[in-house]
Amino acid sequence: METTDKNADNPDLIAGIGNALVDILTHETDDFLKRTVAVKGGMTYVGSEEIDKTLSRSTNKPTIVPGGSVCNTIVGVSKLGGAARFVGQCGKGRLGNFFKSDLMRQHVEPSLFYSDDPTGRVLSIITPDAQRSMMTYLGAASQMDPAKIDKDCFKGAAIVYVEGYLLFNPELIRAALKAARAVGAKIALDLASFNVVEESKPLLDEIVTDYVDILIANEDEAMAFTGYAGESDALRALAELAEIAVLKVGKRGSYIYRSGKEIRIHPTGNGDIVDTTGAGDLWASGFLYGLVNGLTLETCGQLGSACGYEVCRVIGANIPDDGWARIKRILAP
């Protein structure tokens, strides 16, 4: 593992573990999407050749950026001024070097393992309704060895944020959770995607009960996990399992539940939405940053909402500087 360990003694450090991936973003029609193996609004695992075949049919030039769900969140934490570390595995080639250098450019501490397999890729097809449908080739990320995940990965972390997509690698997610608990960190888990929840329900039941302190889900994920479609019922079902439960309800905002108290967070902004890629990831950036800095739950939720809104105003998961300036007004005294 290659790490700079520069944030190890920072009491506000947020460490994330997830798939190190490069995002490929392209705008296409719903008809184009129907001719692919992608599930609208969901995520489908594919081989690298399937991504290449789909791209060969596209008439638009794609945007290529470093990505992966938890990586997006951790970069957002850094942009807010927080101490941030990303744990993952990429390939040794050009894309792997690109991934690491971009983390460092954005002041995220890279804690990376390397594989002879190529760095993973995600093709996000963005339709006119701003929905993104993902085709994922994990590549090197799928080869991360659970035996290498130990306390050093999360040394000094106040919160360890675990990517829900790791549910497809049960031994890896168990190793990450045990290592996070060993350093005394709070553990946050995002449920990733409704189809991830559906395919991993028994494992999810086990790990949430045993390890998770902060549980984050959107409506579809909460329905798949709890069986409840109503906002209040779904939120309370999540809250029975974790110290803090979050239910994101898209344009209607979000809900937070802790210690018997339900908090409604109203949506931020009313501008045009061009791409929902990274909306949940950046919501988590603001919320988790607020938690480690001792902000009220209301302010944490407002910060998350602002981050989620700003990333929907651009293509991809990278908020520009003017967007971060607007977000940070929430933090102004």
From its phi and psi, is residue 220 left (phi > 0), alpha (psi between -120 and 50) or beta? alpha
Please state the domain count of the chain.
1
CA gyration radius, the chain: 18
Asked whether residue 318 carries a pLDDT value surpassing 60, the answer given is: yes
CA pair distance 216, 237, nearest whole angstrom: 12
Residue 157 lies in a domain: yes
Average pLDDT over residues 237-244: 97
Residue 322 lies in a domain: yes
Residue 58 lies in a domain: no
Residue 60 lies in a domain: no
pLDDT at position 66: 81
Average pLDDT over residues 206-229: 96
pLDDT at position 115: 94
pTM: 0.90
CATH number of the domain encompassing residue 78: 3.40.1190.20
Residue 57 lies in a domain: no
How do residues 253-273 score in pLDDT, each as one tens digit? Answer: 999 999 999 999 999 887 788
Residue 31 lies in a domain: no
Residue 301 lies in a domain: yes
Domain that holds residue 154: 2-19+67-116+140-331
Q: Structure tokens of 162? A: 């675990």
What one-character DSSP code corresponds to residue 182?
H
Q: Give the list of residues 6+ apart from residue 205 with CB closer than 8 angstroms, or none.
A: none
Residue 80 lies in a domain: yes
How do residues 46-59 score in pLDDT, each as one tens digit? Answer: 999 999 999 999 98
CA pair distance 304, 249, nearest whole angstrom: 13
pLDDT at position 227: 96
